[in-house]
Amino acid sequence: MGPSWLAEPIRVLVTGAAGQIAYSLLYSIAKGDVFGKDQPIILILLDIPPMLPVLDGVVMELQDCALPLLREVIPTDKVEVGFKDLDAAILVGSMPRKEGMERKDLLKANVAIFKTQGAALDKYAKKTVKVLVVGNPANTNCLIASKSAPSIPKENFSCLTRLDHNRACSQVAMRCSVSADNVKNVIIWGNHSSTQYPDVHHAKVNLHGSEVAAYEAVKDDNWLRGDFISTVQQRGAAVIKARKLSSAMSAAKAICDHMRDIWFGTKEGEFLSMGVYAAGNSYGIPDDLIYSFPVQIKNKTWKIVDGLPINDFSRAKMDATASELVEERDTALDFLSQ
């Protein structure tokens, strides 16, 4: 790879770009942490019209960071500008849940947003675009976007469960008094909601230079089957309670991890969690869902890690989160057809 001024810039879109996750995210992308240190970037920032003045402030700050890889920043509220010729789309913006709002109302509002964005991807983006959906309900929003972009391969769509994955890694690492990079192959199964199942039956912990199964390293089955799971499931709510704002710094870090792994692949013998299209998996999860699986990535293409043994404890939890997703999907598809 030659010096970065010779490389073609890639076009990266972030939606909800005036929001707090984007504020933590944009610097890392523009600095080269995600797409590589020699990869110039054109950043497209999309938000709704009332947020445009805020977006101008974000643009000024990005300019003031004086980042060598950042070729251009384009703030916009128009999909035909936002989605044009994209290499990567990070869809952070969604309708947040307001107090007293039914999940059904939330779904309805989001179906409208992600139908529009899917159609815009279909019409304006490159067919090779990699699309990451962050805005909640992320799995179902991702499914709606992919259904609304029939000319883009379903494999190009994924939703973020890396934050849950990172949370699970970190909980195990702290329990074993090691740093987080000594824990690998935890799995988040299913929905990015409180029904998700953080599974450490296949995880390994590096203790003093030797790899030990997580259950053996932690030596506390009650914790692993109880508080560990609920801590990971409820972590988002715990952050909101403490901070009075949702987890933005950790979400941004997880987005960077997810996209970087799509771009550069996973390490040999390691897998990560991503919400991906469930067709043809060996775990009996219904097709036509975006469901979080363990995946390995090579040449920008993910593959579900198939054939891991699943015990009854895991099975029940994997099925429970799948049935929540089926229900969400069916509700969303009703709205989509209206």
Residue set of the binding site for substrate: 97, 103, 136, 167
Cis peptide before 137 (omega within 30 of 0): yes
On the CB side of 239, CA atoms within 13 Å amount to 15
Q: Residue 180 corresponds to which tokens in the numbers above?
A: 């987080």
Q: How many Å is the Cα radius of gyration of the chain?
A: 20
Q: Residue 21 corresponds to which tokens in the numbers above?
A: 């996750």
What DSSP letter does each residue of 239-278 carry, written as one string?
Answer: HHHHHSS---HHHHHHHHHHHHHHHH-PPTT--EEEEEE-
Using CB atoms within 10 A of its CB, is residue 246 exposed (0-12), middle (13-18) or buried (19+)? middle
| Annotation: binding site | 47, 97, 103, 110, 134-136, 167
192 is catalytic: yes
Q: Would you say 232 and 193 are in contact if contact means Cβ atoms under 8 Å apart?
A: no
Pairing mode, strands 210-213 and 187-189: unpaired
Q: Would you say 96 and 117 are in contact if contact means Cβ atoms under 8 Å apart?
A: no
Is the dihedral angle over the CA atoms 97, 98, 102, 106 positive or is it negative? negative
The distance of Cα 333 from the centroid of its chain, to the nearest Å, equals: 22
- The residues with which 72 forms a beta bridge, in sequence order, are 42
Burial 171-193 (b: 16+ CB within 10 A, else e): bbbebbebeeebbbbbbbbbbbb
* Rounded Cα distance, 112 and 102, in Å: 16
Residue 224 Cα distances to 184, 212, 220, 308, angstroms: 16, 15, 6, 19
- Which residues belong to the active site? 192
